Structure 1
Amino acid sequence: MDRFTVRLPPDLAQRFDAAASVCGGRSRLLRRLIEASAADGNPHSGSAPAEPLTGKLTLRLGAADLAAVEAAAAAVGLSRTQWVVALVRRRLHGRPQFSPPEAAACIEVQRDLRRIGVNLNQIARTMNATVPGGRVPDLELARIVAFAAEVRGGLSGLRRAFEGNLDYWSAGS
């Protein structure tokens, strides 16, 4: 196996460790992030630059504004530079911007939805193959309806999470 070595400032390493602790540790989270970045459906495509960075923007803020930016960035697990870049990208491109823990959570949800899709296909095949006369028993039908409602509830929660992210980065927030 290949090995990657990354040097990070201590505060970023601590924040990453905190995010990784809920995902099974550093290696597991790094592996997930790398897999997701290498996959076609990259959930980071909205927050990663589409082209190499070619310019630098410098801001001078008063002490109160700088403290407010640092507090807002820390609250979502970003450095102040990452926070300002996410804010600018949200306003320019209109896409959600995720912090590393949020991105990891989105990756996990994406995996879960894929598993659910596979399971639904298997259930449908089994039901079609084993039901005599083409009539699904009421108990089985109730279970499927309940499962579909649970999936819709999960998707509704995911939609609210995306809307909340977009609201956070919108003007007036």
Structure 2
Amino acid sequence: MDRLTVRLPPDLARRFDAAAAGHGGRSRLLRRLIEGAAQASLPDGPETASTSASAKLTLRLRVDDLGLLEAAAADAGRSRTQWAVSLIRRRLHGRPQLRPSDAMAFIGIQRELRRIGVNVNQIARALNTAVLEGRVLDLEVIQLDAFAAEIRDHLSGLQAAFRGNLDYWSDR
């Protein structure tokens, strides 16, 4: 027989044992769950590895180090594995490591900057056609200055966010 090993947090293991007690024990319930999953309809075709092959890395840490890791991960809104992977990827690739919510925020900023860019282009086009005897309409100049200031503010915020993300994952 093949043997499967599953690592669980202590709380989840206790809750599973409590649930398994009414089903003949841990092994019997696990076998039933695995049989049910194996009988579920699987995609047709040959089995292929996932599009991003991965390998497992196991770390042994002192209890106090593990506590610090869990606290840092919780502060960052990640599991300890996600936090460690982000740290390693940041060091290896030198790129920001964003949570999905952060990535969505950056996409929103990018969308706003595009919107502002379209408006600036429209104003520039209006300025090119609104020149009257060497004078530009004052309203368009004021709007252009306001948009330029707004773009600078958004870019500063975006740069600060990226700097903060990179600093977080860098050596302290």
Alignment partner of 1:92 is 2:92: yes
Describe the SS at the equivalent of 1:95.
Answer: coil
- What is the count of residue pairs matched by the alignment? 122
How do 1:103-114 and structure 2 match up within 5 A? 103-114=103-114
Matched, 1:82 2:69: no
In the aligned structure 1, how far is the partner of 2:170 from the partner of 2:82? 16
2:133 alignment partner, SS class:
helix
Over 3 Å counting, the alpha-carbon distance change for 1:118 and 1:146 in structure 2 is closer
- 8 Å Cα contact 1:97-1:165 kept in structure 2: yes
Q: Which residue of 2 aligns with 1:63?
A: 63
| Structure-2 residue corresponding to 1:167 | 167
Q: Which moved more, 1:105-114 or 1:121-130?
A: 121-130
Say which SS state the counterpart of residue 132 (structure 1) adopts: coil
Partner of 2:52: 52
Whether contact under 8 Å (1:77, 1:100) holds in the other structure is no
- Once the two structures are overlaid, the 10-residue window that deviates more, 137-146 or 102-111, is 137-146
Computed over aligned residues only, the root mean square deviation of the Cα atoms, in angstroms, reads 1.8
Change (3 A) 1:55 1:103: same
CA shift for structure 1 position 83: 0.7
State the Cα distance separating 1:66 from its structure 2 match.
1.4
Kept after mapping to 2: 8 A contact 1:127/1:136? yes
Identity %: 61
Superposition map of 1:1-150 within 5 A: 52-150=52-150
Q: Distance in 1 between matches of 2:76 and 2:54?
A: 26
Q: 1:140 to 1:126 in 2, by over 3 A?
A: closer
Aligned letter for 2:124? A
TM-score (normalised: structure 2) = 0.64
Q: Secondary structure at the match of 1:133?
A: coil
TM-score normalized by structure 1?
A: 0.64
Work out the CA distance in 1 between the residues paired with 2:119 and 2:93: 35
Instruction: String of CA shifts for 1:10-31, please: whole Å, max 9, x gaps.
Output: xxxxxxxxxxxxxxxxxxxxxx
Q: Distance in 2 between matches of 1:53 and 1:169?
A: 24
Structure 2 residue identity aligned to 1:161: A
Q: Unaligned regions of 5+ residues in structure 2, if any?
A: 1-50
**C-alpha separation between the residues in 2 aligned to 1:102 and 1:123?**
32
In the TM superposition, residue 132 of structure 1 has moved relative to its aligned partner by 2.5
Query: How far apart, in 2, do the equivalents of 1:103 and 1:169 lie?
Result: 16
**Structure 1: unaligned runs, 5 residues or longer:** 1-50
The runs of at least 4 aligned residues of structure 1 exceeding 4 Å deviation read none
